[in-house]
């Protein structure tokens, strides 16, 4: 049996995120949970576990599966899957995959909670020989692709700003937090 260190209750965190007013920029530190505060986005560590001797990363798979099912039920449409997939080729999806994320199947999924996007990321930190599980919370505009083509200068400018902010995002973290 692997020594799993649980850091934050993921379901409690998701419920807390629901209470953030949409008109207010989130103040991550005010949530009272361990957080890597990156300003516009945040990484909430949920659990860590040492990699097995063979290098397998499956100690946190059960916890990830349980949280993913919770997100599908409460934020994804329940009887139909309404979660969205991050592109592995660009944006935040590419960043977390390059940082060692283990995709669910072949996809990194995200769910919307009000004006936030929540990405559940199970990853391998080879340097520390750890498997990690974290909830990445970012502006929904970083990942949401409108079905309607952007036609105004303001909308195009906003989309460029969001792409630039997403491109500058730091997805790395380590435990313990410094």
20-29 as b/e, with b when 16 or more CB fall inside 10 Å?
beeeeebebe
Kindly indicate the confidence band of residue 77, based on its pLDDT and cuts at 50, 70 and 90.
Answer: low
| C-alpha torsion 29→32→33→39, nearest 10 | -10
pTM (whole model) above 0.85: yes
Q: pLDDT value at position 48?
A: 95
| Contact (CB, 8 A) for 121 and 133 | yes
Kindly indicate the confidence band of residue 152, based on its pLDDT and cuts at 50, 70 and 90.
Answer: confident
**Domain regions of the chain by residue span:** 5-168
Dihedral sign of CA atoms 85, 87, 91, 94 in order: positive
Instruction: Enumerate residues 6+ apart whose C-beta is below 8 A from 106.
Output: 88
């Amino acid at each position: 049996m692997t020594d799993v260190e649980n850091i934050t209750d993921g379901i409690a965190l998701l419920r807390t995120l629901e209470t953030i007013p949409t008109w207010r920029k989130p103040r991550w530190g005010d949530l009272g949970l361990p957080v890597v505060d990156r300003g516009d986005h945040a990484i909430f560590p949920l659990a860590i576990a040492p990699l097995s001797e063979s290098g397998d990363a499956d100690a946190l798979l059960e916890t990830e599966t349980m949280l993913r099912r919770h997100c599908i039920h409460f934020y994804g449409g329940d009887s139909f899957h309404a979660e969205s997939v991050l592109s592995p080729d660009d944006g935040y999806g590419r960043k977390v995959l390059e940082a060692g994320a283990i995709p669910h199947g072949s996809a990194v999924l995200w769910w919307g909670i009000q004006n936030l996007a929540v990405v559940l990321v199970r990853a391998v930190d080879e340097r520390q020989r750890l498997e990690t599980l974290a909830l990445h919370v970012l502006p929904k505009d970083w990942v949401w692709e409108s079905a309607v083509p952007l036609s105004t200068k303001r909308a195009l400018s906003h989309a460029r700003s969001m792409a630039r902010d997403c491109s500058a995002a730091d997805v790395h973290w380590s435990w313990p937090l410094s």
